[in-house]
Each structure stands twice: as structure tokens, then as C-alpha cells.
Amino acid sequence: MRAPAGLHLDYLSPAEYQSAGWADVLGVATFNGPPAPAPGSGEIPVAEVNTPLLLGTADVYEVWRSGQPAESGQRNRVRFRRSKNLLFGCIALAESEIAAGRAAPSALHAATEEAYREICATLDALGFPHLLRVWNYLPDINRDSDGIERYRQFNQARQHALSACGRAVRGKVPAASALGAASGSPLVVYFLASREAPAFIENPRQMSAYRYPREYGSHPPVFSRATLLRQKDSLTLFISGTASIVGHRSIHVGDTAAQTRETVANIAALLEEANRVERAARFSLGSLACKVYLRRPQDLPVIRAELAAALEPASRVIYLQADICRQDLLVEIEATGMCPLKADA
């Protein structure tokens, strides 16, 4: 089968994963443990995330392809794979191990700062200066420890590390998500980076996350609402974890259906903004690959019904159980859109 042009995302079943071609694969994320070995996949970096899949699906593999030959490597604890212009990497750090002997406000702070310092050092060494998209999974994200909520500890440490590495903490920052993982899991971070800078997209309906007031913590989250990568033959839109937030406030607290509709409205606003910024873009809700996080598995029928009304039957959607960064949010959706470019675009 001919490889798709440019960066491409697939959600594969175990059978599809076993028969996949691997020459252009950049990396894989799994959600129910490591994948079964597949021929030719031995050096592919795999981010093992502990957020259970819903809908009775035993396994789904998130597979990122570049459309070009790729080679694997490792720098310290970052496993990576790169093509000519794109890089996928992942790192997993257990708080109990990395925090030993460290002078840090908390074990999570130490692990987060170490992970981001290693990521930045890897990108600098390999010549991929532009983070496009980052996925962060930390156990017990909403629990208080060391006198502060763990998500706020994470935000503080991420900002400290990025600043120390000479990277922006507002404005030109990557799309990102931060979700809870099962207790006892390591901190898992995986990411995509490029040699070329993306466009950075904000949502007119929302305050930029990096400008949040101090009521959300001493250090605001470091992410753009979306990033848009232009390649020779395609456009890729990375939509950050998106929820029922207008301005900077959570709305529809306690109402799962209304939160889902508001989340879709925010994603639609980002698509409109991306199409405005990049005139050649034709992103639509029906063209997205969506990853949906539910705080409460029992809300799945309600959320599925709302998304069935908003998306198209062929839309690619997977559902996972995970705690969300704010305790009053019940659903979060991240998405990826890919749009081919005409030769004269």
C-alpha cells in the first residue's frame, strides 16, 4: 500500500498492527500495555500510557507515520525515531526513581523537570528545534500532595525546565494535553517535533492557557490551543486537549452532555481559525481523528450520542478513561486533522 503523503495518524487494531509496514513509522502510543511484537517493529519507540480504553476494545494502537524512511535512536532516556524533517520521541520516568537524592519541591516536580530537560536536549542535539505536539500523562493528576495539586506541580516544573532550556513559555509553544494516568504509573511524555516551525493557533472563544490568572496556579499551562504544520504535500492540525471552557472558566459544571457540546464548539472555532490562518486549509469536524477522555466511564453513552450528532459516521474516534486537569471537567477531546495540499497551493 502506498504511504500517505506527509505526516499521518492511524488508529490500528492488533491485527492491523501485526501486518503494518514499518519503514516510515515514527512512533506508537499504546493504552492497555505494550503491543505484541510485530515483524519489523523492534526499534520503533512506543509510549506505554496507562489510560484504559473504553467501548470494550481490547487494544488500539496510535501509529504516527512520516511518509518517508525513518531511523531510530536513543539519547539518555528519550527513545526517538526521525525522518528527514520530523521526529517522534517518548520518555517514561518513575517518580520514585528520579526523585531520589534530588532537591525539588516534590517527586513529580523532579520527574517532570528531568523529562523536559532531556526532551529539549535531545531536540537540540538532533536539530529538531520545534516542538509541534506534546502528550503528558501523570498519575493522580487531581490529587493534592506536598501541599499543592499535582497538576499544578507539573505546570510549575514544565515551565521551569522549558525556561532553563531557553524555550518559550508563552506564544510560540506547542499544542499539548495533560491527563491523569492510573496510580503507580510513571510520568509518560511523548511528542512530535519538526525542523520547520508551525503556525500557532489560539481560540477566539478562550483565553490563551499561558495567560490564565493565578487562581489556576502560580505557573500557567504552557501550550497553544493548536499548532498547524505545513509540509510540501499536506497540512496537519494538532488540536490540544479541549474542554468546556469559555474565556478561562469551566462552564456547564455537572452536565456531561452540555460540556461535550461546548467542547465541540471550541474545536469548531479552532478549525475556523486554522482555515483563516492557512488559506489552503479545508479542515472540518468530520475529517478529524479524535481521542476522547472521560472522567467517568458511565458517561460514555451520553458523550457518544453528542459526538454522533456533531461528527460524521466515518470519523475516527477512540474513548479512554482518564482524569482531566480540572476536577469540574467531565470530558476532554483532542484531535488531529490532515489536509492534502494541491500542487499550486
Q: Residue 15 belongs to a domain with what CATH number? A: 3.30.1330.40
Helices 107-126, 150-164: inter-axial angle, 10-degree rounding: 30
- Return the pLDDT at 176: 98
Question: Domain containing 317: what range?
Answer: 8-340
pLDDT digits 0-9 by tens, 180-206: 999 999 999 999 999 999 999 999 999
Q: Which amino acid is at 54?
A: L
Active-site annotation holds for 332: yes
Lowest mean pLDDT among 207-216, 266-275, 306-315: 306-315
| Residue 117 pLDDT class (50, 70, 90 cuts) | very high
Of residues 286 and 120, more confidently modeled: 120
- Please count the structural domains in the chain: 1
Q: Is 3 part of a structural domain of the chain?
A: no
Mean pLDDT score across all residues of the chain? 93
Summarised one tens digit per residue, pLDDT across range 71-109 is 999 999 999 999 999 999 999 999 988 755 566 789 999
Q: What share of the chain has pLDDT > 90, as a percent?
A: 81
Please choose, from the candidates 48, 9, 52, the residue with its C-alpha nearest in 3D space to the C-alpha of residue 29.
Answer: 48
pLDDT value at residue 108: 95
Rounded CA-CA distance 191/38 in Å is: 22
% of the chain exceeding 70 in pLDDT: 95
Residue 187's nearest CA partner among 321, 8, 50 is 50
Q: Is residue 345 part of a domain?
A: no
DSSP string, 176-226: EEEEEE-TTPPEEEEEEEESS--EEE--TTB--GGG--GGG-SS----BSE
Would the pLDDT of 149 be above 90? yes
Helix (H, G, I), strand (E, B) or coil at 54: coil
Would you say 218 and 151 are in contact if contact means Cβ atoms under 8 Å apart?
A: no
Catalytic one among 95, 273, 332, 334?
332
Q: Is the pLDDT of residue 248 over 60?
A: yes
What is the model's pTM? 0.95
pLDDT band with cut points at 50, 70 and 90 for residue 2: very low
pLDDT in tens, 299-334: 999 999 999 999 988 889 999 999 999 999 999 999
Residue 2 lies in a domain: no
Q: Is 75 contained in some domain?
A: yes
pLDDT band at 341 (very low <50, low <70, confident <90, very high): confident
- pLDDT of res. 5: 62
